[in-house]
């Protein structure tokens, strides 16, 4: 069992780096914390960074998770190899570009690129927002998986992820007390389906709803309230069709929590009645 202890970063290729950085700063409210060798590091909390953008294929996504130390990294390398996966150990230069002291990379059974990092950098200065969106932290992602049942089995047997709830066959999974760090989305490709930032309160969600609409940002869903996690949410599109989410009030779960099964319908997605695009939960063949 590989124990993940932290949720760290996304590395995202983008077709237009400057346009994406401008959107992330002025619309999402992130802070540029560094530019090095074509990488732009941005954040919405006090970690070194939450997103690293680079000029490249917009489908090129990597998620960075944190392990406790170098012994755990070596253990993970063995465990992943034993599970039949190819593991790449990053060089010191590559670790420096990920702003950590060491890492390995592998692809999960869906083909998602995952970095397991050791001692990712903390920041000496507090987050200074690009706009007052009320962001508190980078909190979870939607993860595209080619088979949600296989993905749930992999992340719960090889890693310390556990399922908090299901909607259809898609598990919402976590390794700590936050209701979910992964929301699995059935897809015909790997990648990050959405990126969540927690904001302080419902007022922040609603302020951004009006702010983003005023700035012609396409809203994907919401404002609404997730029936599973209880979080108030708003989803919107950024460059490269990446979906970003603000939410607040996500449920905390402990060891006594028992996962619940929800059907795929509007009420499972939003307790308030907003209309989601449920095809994203029905897989790549939905609507055909």
For Fe ion, give the closer residue by CB, 105 or 229: 229
- DSSP one-letter string for the chain: -B---EEEEEEEEES-HHHHHHHIIIII--EEEEEETTEEEEESSSBS-SEEEEES-TT-EEEEEEESSHHHHHHHHHHHHHTT--EEEPPHHHHHHTTSSEEEEEE-TT--EEEEEESPPB-SS----SS---EEEEEEEEEEES-HHHHHHHHHHTBS-EEEEEETTEEEEESSSBS-SEEEEE-SS-EEEEEEEEESSHHHHHHHHHHHHHTTPPEEEEEEE-TTT--EEEEEE-GGG-EEEEEE-PPB--TT---EEE-SSHHHH-SS-----GGGGS-TTTT-
What is the nearest approach in angstroms of Fe ion to the Cβ of residue 19? 24
When asked if residue 196 is in the footprint of Fe ion (CB under 5 A), the reply is yes
Nearer to Fe ion, 15 or 252 (CB): 252
Per CB under 5 A, 174 contacts Fe ion = no
| Nearest-approach distance from CB 257 to Fe ion, in angstroms | 18
Min dist. Cβ of residue 142 to Fe ion (A): 6
Comparing CB distances to Fe ion, the nearer of 196 and 208 is 196
Nearer to Fe ion, 110 or 196 (CB): 196
Window of 42-50, 101-109, 117-125, 190-198 that interacts with Fe ion by CB under 5 A: 190-198
Q: Which is nearer to Fe ion, 154 or 246 (CB)?
A: 246
* Least spacing, CB of residue 141 vs Fe ion, in Å: 8
Site for Fe ion contains 245 (CB under 5 A): yes
The residue sitting closest to Fe ion, measured at its beta carbon, is 196
- Scanning 14-22, 87-95, 168-176, 193-201 for contacts with Fe ion by CB under 5 A, the matching segment is 193-201
Provide the Cα torsion 27, 28, 34, 36; round to 10°.
-80
Within 264-283, the residues that bind Fe ion by CB under 5 A are none
Q: Which of residues 99-158 bind Fe ion (CB under 5 A)?
A: none
Least gap, CB of 9 to Fe ion (angstroms): 17
Instruction: Give yes or no for residue 229 binding Fe ion (CB under 5 A).
Output: no
CB atoms within 10 A of CB 51: 23
Q: Which is nearer to Fe ion, 169 or 246 (CB)?
A: 246
The least CB distance from residue 180 to Fe ion, in Å, is 7
Burial label, 211 (beta-carbon count in 10 A; 0-12, 13-18, 19+): middle
Write down the least CB distance from residue 196 to Fe ion, Å: 4
Task: Choose one: 57-65, 95-103, 242-250, 256-264; the region binding Fe ion (CB under 5 A).
Answer: 242-250
How many CB atoms are located within 10 Å of the residue 157 CB? 11
The answer to the question of residue 45 lying near Fe ion (CB under 5 A) is no
Q: Residues in the site for Fe ion, rule: CB under 5 A? A: 196, 245
């Amino acid at each position: 069992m590989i124990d993940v202890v932290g949720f760290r970063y996304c590395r995202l290729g983008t077709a237009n780096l400057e346009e994406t950085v401008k959107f992330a700063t002025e619309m999402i409210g992130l802070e540029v914390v560094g530019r090095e060798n074509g990488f732009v590091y941005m954040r919405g909390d006090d970690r070194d960074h939450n997103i690293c953008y680079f000029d490249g294929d917009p489908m090129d996504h990597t998620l960075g998770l944190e392990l406790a130390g170098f012994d755990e990294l070596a253990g993970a390398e063995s465990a992943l190899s034993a599970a039949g996966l190819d593991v790449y150990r990053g060089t010191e230069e590559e670790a420096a570009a990920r702003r950590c002291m060491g890492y390995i990379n592998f692809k999960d059974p869906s083909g998602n690129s995952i970095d397991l990092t050791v001692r990712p950098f903390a920041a000496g200065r507090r987050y200074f927002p690009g706009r007052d969106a009320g962001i508190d932290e980078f909190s979870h992602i939607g993860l595209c998986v080619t088979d949600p049942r296989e993905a749930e089995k992999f992340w719960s047997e090889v890693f310390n992820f556990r399922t908090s709830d299901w909607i259809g066959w898609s598990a919402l999974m976590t390794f700590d007390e936050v209701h979910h760090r992964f929301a699995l989305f059935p897809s015909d490709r790997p990648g990050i389906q959405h990126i969540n930032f927690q904001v302080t309160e419902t007022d922040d969600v609603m302020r951004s709803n009006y702010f983003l609409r005023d700035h012609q940002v396409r809203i994907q869903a919401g404002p609404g309230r997730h029936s599973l996690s209880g979080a108030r949410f708003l989803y919107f599109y950024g460059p490269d069709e990446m979906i970003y989410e603000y939410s607040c009030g996500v449920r905390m779960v402990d060891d006594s929590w028992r996962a619940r099964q929800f059907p795929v319908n509007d009420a499972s997605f939003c307790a308030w009645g907003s209309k989601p695009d449920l095809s994203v939960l029905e897989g790549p063949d939905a609507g055909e």
